[in-house]
Amino acid sequence: MPDKTAAAKSAQAPAVVVRPPNHVVVRWRGDEEFESGRPGGPTLRIDGHGKAAQSPVDVLLTALASCSSIDVVGILAKRRTPVKSLEIDVVGERADDRVPRKVRRILLTFRITGAGIEREHAERAVELSVTKYCSVRDSLDPGIPIEWKVELNAE
């Protein structure tokens, strides 16, 4: 006879989704230029000089801004106040006095436009994203202060 208790417990337990690890390949293209992407997927150019493409630090700042923005757009959509446009201005201050010139501070300015979006809700969405949901932020050194501000534009 089947164990009804075990069946009831398994029916209540949330399914755990096991995701494969992220996998990218980075190819040197000469000088300080590289191409990166998932095997068989779209690629991103990277330039250590920051002339022909974003520099590695620019890519890091881009990753932080885009990761947190995904959450902001999703949170506001769940409130039934969808974002019409979003721009994130990112400034990363770097150490000048030593090598490596690590990022010491980051400021994210979220410029959000959308009908009915209230400042309180936009600020809360950004706060939740940067402090709780953004996996890129959680992968960075926790000692790096990340500040943010919201500029809300009426539609």
Q: Which whole number is the average pLDDT over 22-34?
A: 95
Confidence of residue 63 (pLDDT cuts 50, 70, 90): very high
- Topology (CATH) of 55-153: GMP Synthetase; Chain A, domain 3 (3.30.300)
Q: What percent of the chain has pLDDT over 90?
A: 82
pLDDT value at 13 more than 90: no
* Per-residue pLDDT at 154 exceeds 70: yes
pLDDT at 16: 86
In the numeric block, which tokens belong to residue 120? 């309180």
Length of the chain: 155
Average pLDDT over residues 59-74: 97
Give the domain ranges of the chain: 19-54, 55-153
Q: Which of these, 17, 114, 111, 125, lies nearest to 71 by C-alpha position?
A: 125
Q: What is the pTM of this model?
A: 0.84
- 123-128: long-range contacts at Cβ-Cβ below 8 A with a sequence spacing of 24 or more? 123/150, 124/75, 125/71, 125/72, 125/75, 125/76, 126/68, 126/72, 126/150, 128/71, 128/75
Span 20-40, average pLDDT: 95
